[in-house]
Amino acid sequence: MQRIIIGNGIAGSHAAAVLRRRDPDCQITIVSAGALLFYNRYDLPDVFRGRGDWVDYLVYPPSYYDEQNIKLRRKTLVKDVDPNKRTICLSHREALSYDQLLVATGGTGYIPERLLEYSDSMISFNNYRLAMMVRKALPDGGVVIMLGGDVLGLDLARTLIETGHSVVLVAGDRTFWPHEIDADDRPRYLEALRRMGLEVVDGRRIDRVESSHGKRPARQVIFEDGEVLKGDVVMPFYGLTPSVDFMSSAGIDIERGILVNPQLKTTGDDIWAAGDVCQIWSPQQNAYHFYYGWKNVKMMGEVAARNMTGDEVPFSATVDEQIQLQEDGTIYSPFWEYD
Amino acid sequence: MNSVQTDVQIAVCGSAGDGTIAVGDILKRAMARAGYRVIAFDEYPAEIRGFGKCIARTRITTGQVYSMKPKTDVLVALNDGHAIPHVSEVRDFGAVIYDSAPIAAVQEGWHVSGHLRPGHLPYGLPMREISEQSTSANRSRNIVALGFVAGLYRLPRQAFIEAITEKFRTKAEEVTKTNVAAFNAGYERGGETYRFDKLEFGPPARRARSSLSTMMTGNHAIVRGCLEAGIETFFGYPITPATSIMERLAVEMPKHGARLLQTEDEIAAISATIGAGFAGARSATATSGPGFALMTEMMGLGVMAEVPAVIFVSQRGGPSTGMPTKTEQSDLNIAVFGGHGDAKRIVLAPTNVEGCWRCAGRAFEMAEAYQVPVVVLVDLYLSNRYETVVFPDTPPFLPKSWKPMHRDRQADLPYRRFELTTDGVSPRAVPGDVGGVHTATGLEHNEFGRPNDLSDMHLQMTEKRHGKLNAALKHPGITVCKRFGDTGKVDVGVLTWGSTFGEALEATILAREDGIRCAAMKVVMLSPLPVRPILRFLNDCKVVVVPELNYEGQFANLISGALGRPVKRFNRVTGKPIDVIQLLQAIRGAAGKRKWRKSAA
């Protein structure tokens, strides 16, 4: 049995571990676009606490993969999937055969279309390499202009402020993503962010983002009213968009994410999906739903692996999705938790 | 000041025709040009193009090292099928660079990226695409890959451009431009690539920056030694891996007023060499095992007629045609004992590139001083291995000189060319010397050279031919053997000869770091054998390991036969140099066994 997992995040890696536990003899191959072994992205804000070596972020040592007989193919992009031939085609023109496929490619940082042309002037925080780029670009006490302000960004903001940097948040309708906050509550939450130490700019529409070569500050955000916000780094945090492009010709149902039933099975034969890439059918809500956060995603990896090896268990979220304004006035998001 | 010590080994692996060796050549020349020390060794097939595997390995250092590293830091795969077996040679957290956009579909399991170990760091590079974009052709993908390596590790770009320019100086100007463009495109891509590995290139060592440092192969060092010693004639027949000696001499000798002739075969080559030696010229030939086998009869003539001649032998895998492009040390027996009769000769086996130069130059002196053929025994690994060498300003080799005829001898007495003297060396005359007419023959002879097979005469002459060589053990300017590592009594001694010494010394250094009392000895003069210092070394060692690249242990047999001491053999016939880690394990085993014996006692 050849099982291929596309994606080397928590969903894919945990699924591989469960698969190996339940089927010691099968072949497991993880295909990853990244260069590194599985590491904890939730720890990446620690780069500002001096934890710069990527080895320190690894969840498993290199020997783990040999011990578990899990093959890991890194820097490998999947071009498309052919469910009829049961192959995945890699960008270097090699086709890999599978008996079962798990898609766990997660999501990439979403950037509103009107800001895409300014991507070169922004640095996202999706992986270790980008985290190190931000660290390199940000001087001691430097200013980060954070656009959007999803919970991942706010988690980073906490660390940046603790490490002596300034964070200016340009808030918008994706602030606190994926949490949804009533308009009436929004001012209280924004005030809580100010208490955290963020400077919050709200209700302003961005016109453009510019780089000022060779000068400090290196970046500036220009609003439609002409006002200029200057900083060292501009970081977009508008939530995630599922990485599904390579699945577009696979003939399975995709909406924003890959549509799966509660057992995380897609509409394609022997293809499952887990993590931020999939929308899970919720009989209670009678709708497809995204579930985020380390614990949910890890559970999806577990459920998918169990169902690939014969179980029929449904996924149920383990995390309360509500953001909380605590008694001391600070904000708590359950998506900041991981194990 | 940056105190990073550089010690990086880069291997480029491709198919014949991929430009693998060319890339390795540019890399090592560029890094040597930048002031680093370089050791490099290429493996290539016997076929010309389109078949076999080529690997160009280059070790770049700031300090003195003695061999290739057992593990590679960076592997560049120009051909996935050939590179896959070598991925395991890459160390943990080492880099593997490969073509991420090959032109043809790859069969499942045949892309190198699928064979990386979890600890390796992958760098996919669309080599072909970058080549096409920068040069309008895909044939420069090897240079793109080289540029990528240089850019990734911020190596000095100008040194590479100079090395590329030098490499293609005999081609059309467009060829250089194309390759520089491909290099620059790769360099830019490398510079933009985020690097996860922690390889560092520190500044080059001060000594290596000297204008006197030169990078060359063992064969080219032999050529330099020949030229600086004043070689006058060379006769040879091409054979891998000795051919480059003749090729380079063919270019250089005419500039020095010397003559080179490619003969019809090896028998003619050795015959002409001995003929020229008889005539008084500094004369040499170069060959490999199969050719040397043909030369042995004439070498016997050289011994019997006491004619100076120098024979360079570069060993390759045998027997017979064997493995022309793989290294081996299996011609020790024929070098020391080859031929019939008691044909004692001098055999020198240099251990590094500098030693090739030194032995080549001294071989001419010794051939004249002791009136005997001198064999300089190297192997493919040493012949083709590049090292950065610092040569003295003034060549140390003595001009042509030998024991002359007695000037005060009575003119009416016949000249005794083979006069029995106390040191065994007879006064020598060459054709043209007044009063020096004599017979030189392959038959046993008396002092005048006339055939004589009386028992006493044969005994006296045999003793003379053997005894005169003892002085060679004290010939000035050559180290016949040398000890390294711990002094005094040691747990393990590593006794080596030839190119294996570098690996042996590296293994010894690692063993000492393990806490094992360990020493190594290199023996450069294999005949006559420096028995006393070797015996002292053996007496200091609880266990002696003899690593060599032959099956039976020819050097071990030589030592055991001469000294009657058992040694622990470490024989490899893989066609490759000794693996340092395997040898280290053998040393550990030898040390451990000894300790176990002690505790059991």
pLDDT digits (tens, 9 = 90+) for B209-235: 455 678 899 999 999 999 999 999 999
Mutation choice for B interface testing from A69, A94, A96 by most B CBs within 10 A: A94
A307 vs B98: CA distance, rounded Å: 37
In the 3-class helix/strand/coil scheme, how is B160-192 assigned residue by residue?
A: HHHHHHHHCCCCCHHHHHHHHHHHHHHHHHHHH
Residue pair A65/A57 in contact (Cβ under 8 Å)? The answer is: no
Contacts of A98 (CB under 8 A, 6+ apart): A2, A3, A4, A86, A87, A88, A270
Q: Do B118 and A132 touch (CB under 8 A)?
A: no
B31 vs A252: CA distance, rounded Å: 54
Residue pair B272/B263 in contact (Cβ under 8 Å)? The answer is: yes
pLDDT tens readout for residues B74-116: 999 999 999 999 999 999 999 999 999 998 999 999 999 999 9
| pLDDT score, position B411 | 61
Whose structure tokens read 């008084």?
A: B280
| pLDDT score, position A336 | 85
Q: What fold is seen in the domain A2-106+243-308?
A: FAD/NAD(P)-binding domain (3.50.50)
The answer to whether A2-106+243-308 and A125-236 have equal CATH topology is yes
Tell me the pairing of strands A219-223 and A206-211: antiparallel
Q: Which of A62, A92, A133 sits opposite B102 (nearest CB)?
A: A92
Q: Give the mean model confidence (pLDDT) for residues B40-45.
A: 87
Neighbours of B35 (CB within 10 A): 19
Residue A322 CA, distance from chain mean position:
19
Residue B102 Cα, gap to closest chain A Cα (Å): 6
Overall pTM surpassing 0.90 (yes/no): no
Q: Where are the domains of chain B?
A: 7-209, 214-478, 481-600
Listed residue (B503, B68, B520, B575) closest to B316, CA to CA: B575
* Strand (E) or helix (H) holding A79: strand A78-82
| pLDDT score, position B333 | 97
Q: What fold is seen in the domain B481-600?
A: Rossmann fold (3.40.50)
| pLDDT score, position A214 | 67
pLDDT tens readout for residues B493-541: 999 999 999 999 999 999 999 999 999 999 999 999 999 999 999 999 9
| pLDDT score, position A36 | 95
pLDDT tens readout for residues A52-98: 899 999 999 999 999 999 999 999 999 999 999 999 999 999 999 99
Q: Give the mean model confidence (pLDDT) for residues B429-444.
A: 92
B598 pLDDT above the threshold of 60: no
How many residue contacts between A and B have a Cβ separation below 8 Å?
Answer: 60
| pLDDT score, position B407 | 65
ipTM over 0.85: yes
A23 vs A230: CA distance, rounded Å: 55
B494 vs B504: CA distance, rounded Å: 7
| pLDDT score, position B594 | 47
The count of C-alpha atoms lying within 13 angstroms of the C-alpha of B417, restricted to the half-sphere facing its C-beta, is: 23
pLDDT tens readout for residues A224-256: 999 999 999 999 999 999 999 999 999 999 999
Share of chain A above pLDDT 70, in %: 99
| pLDDT score, position B207 | 52
| pLDDT score, position B596 | 39
DSSP reduced 3-state for B261? strand
CATH of domain B214-478: 3.40.50.970
| pLDDT score, position B214 | 86
Tokens found for residue A241: 């968009």
Q: Give the mean model confidence (pLDDT) for residues B150-164.
A: 96
| pLDDT score, position B213 | 73
B402 vs B281: CA distance, rounded Å: 12
| pLDDT score, position A202 | 94
Whose structure tokens read 């039976």?
A: B552
Q: Do A93 and B105 touch (CB under 8 A)?
A: yes
The count of C-alpha atoms lying within 13 angstroms of the C-alpha of B500, restricted to the half-sphere facing its C-beta, is: 33
Chain B contact set for A92 (CB, 8 A): 99-102, 106, 111, 113, 124
Q: Which of B92, B110, B121 sits opposite A35 (nearest CB)?
A: B121
B357 vs B558: CA distance, rounded Å: 25
Mean of per-residue pLDDT scores for chain B: 93
Q: Give the mean model confidence (pLDDT) for residues B248-269.
A: 97
| pLDDT score, position B409 | 62
Q: Give the mean model confidence (pLDDT) for residues B472-483.
A: 97
A101 vs A34: CA distance, rounded Å: 19
Choosing among 3.40.190.10, 3.30.930.10, 1.10.101.10, 3.50.50.60, the CATH entry for A125-236 is: 3.50.50.60
DSSP B205: P
Beta partners for residue B90, in sequence order: B72
Residue A147 CA, distance from chain mean position:
16
B291 vs B238: CA distance, rounded Å: 9
Mutation choice for A interface testing from B108, B115, B197 by most A CBs within 10 A: B108
Q: Which of B99, B116, B196 sits opposite A54 (nearest CB)?
A: B196
Q: What fold is seen in the domain B7-209?
A: Pyruvate-ferredoxin Oxidoreductase; domain 3 (3.40.920)
B430 vs B436: CA distance, rounded Å: 7
B311 vs B338: CA distance, rounded Å: 13
pLDDT tens readout for residues A130-139: 999 999 999 9
Q: Do B113 and A74 touch (CB under 8 A)?
A: yes
Mean of per-residue pLDDT scores for chain A: 94
Listed residue (A21, B307, B227) closest to A13, CA to CA: A21
The answer to whether B7-209 and B481-600 have equal CATH topology is no
| pLDDT score, position B469 | 98
Q: pLDDT per position in chain A (339 positions), as tens?
A: 999 999 999 999 999 999 999 999 999 999 999 999 999 999 999 999 999 899 999 999 999 999 999 999 999 999 999 999 999 999 999 999 999 999 999 999 999 999 999 999 999 999 999 999 999 999 999 999 999 999 999 999 999 999 999 999 999 999 999 998 899 999 999 999 999 999 999 999 999 999 876 667 689 999 999 999 999 999 999 999 999 999 999 999 999 999 999 999 999 999 999 999 999 999 988 999 999 999 999 999 999 999 999 999 999 988 777 888 888 888 889 888 887
Tokens found for residue A207: 């016109």
Residue A260 Cα, gap to closest chain B Cα (Å): 29
Neighbours of A285 (CB within 10 A): 8
DSSP reduced 3-state for A6? strand
- What angle separates helix B141-152 from helix B20-33, to the nearest 10 degrees? 30
Q: Do B113 and A62 touch (CB under 8 A)?
A: no
What is the length of chain A? 339
| pLDDT score, position B190 | 97
Residue pair B495/B559 in contact (Cβ under 8 Å)? The answer is: yes
Q: Where are the domains of chain A?
A: 2-106+243-308, 125-236
| pLDDT score, position B599 | 37
Tell me the pairing of strands A278-282 and A287-289: antiparallel
pLDDT tens readout for residues A181-190: 899 999 999 9
Helix, strand and coil content of chain A, in percent to the nearest 5, comes to: 30, 30, 45
